[in-house]
Homo-oligomer: A and B are copies of this chain.
């Protein structure tokens, strides 16, 4: 038996997120369907044994509805005779155009996309223009008010390191500890035509994230940049864990899971 790791990219606009659920079109379902059909064609004995119970893939990040990915990770086990790097091409012919496998490779059988230690990088993109430009807004959150990115940058250091991120987690998350580590957080801007249009990019890397954590950090930094929330309030949010002191959850369309690097 071999374990194959897939690097998965998708435009999340038309999907109800990664995770399989009833009466919804999800990335996991599409990938599971494509993989089953491929493995059946390969006469994979393992698939026959496993029967029809649940998804045959295990994903790293269960991205929300509308969130995009350029480097999510999933694994599956197989006894099919196919070179590991060919699975990417074979799956792409069976997937819709808005989901692509960028890479497939063999990994040790004890590799687990969720539990093996990793650094995940997410990017949140903001289109800061008076009127939303349709060729950008599919992957960016539009804000028409002027954002002060220097103010946003002043808040960056508060997030870096190990903290209890209870204030940056949506209700309903069932986890024991809300302590997580952010290893890098940067804010960049790029000007685009027609001037003075610009894109602001928040890039955050960490060893793990809570439910909606990146979108709440983005929503908080946006409010700081708009002068609606002070650096001091953000500091208090981190110190007290009070969700009310952090900003709103920024819209899904601006978020892209860029990559997952395993340690």
Chain A interface residues (CB < 8 Å from chain B): 7, 9-11, 68, 70-71, 88, 92, 97-103, 130-135, 137-139, 193-194, 256, 258-259
- Could you say which residues of chain B place their CB within 8 Å of the CB of A130? 102
A102 is contacted by which of B11, B88, B133 (Cβ under 8 Å)? Answer: B133
Known: A193-B70, A194-B70, A194-B71. A11 touches B134 (CB 8 A): yes
Q: How far in angstroms is the closest Cβ of chain B from A125?
A: 10
- Could you say which residues of chain B place their CB within 8 Å of the CB of A9? 133-135
- Closest A-B pairs by Cβ, 10 of them: A11-B134, A98-B134, A9-B133, A102-B131, A68-B135, A10-B134, A11-B135, A100-B131, A100-B134, A9-B134
In the complex, besides A10-B134, A88-B131, A138-B138, 7 extra interface pairs with C-beta distance below 8 angstroms are: A11-B134, A11-B135, A11-B138, A97-B134, A98-B134, A193-B258, A194-B259
- Could you say which residues of chain B place their CB within 8 Å of the CB of A97? 132, 134, 137
Most buried by B among A68, A71, A138, A258: A138
Q: How far in angstroms is the closest Cβ of chain B from A226?
A: 20
A161–B53 CA distance with the chains assembled, in angstroms: 66
- Could you say which residues of chain B place their CB within 8 Å of the CB of A92? 131
A100 is contacted by which of B68, B71, B102, B132 (Cβ under 8 Å)? Answer: B132
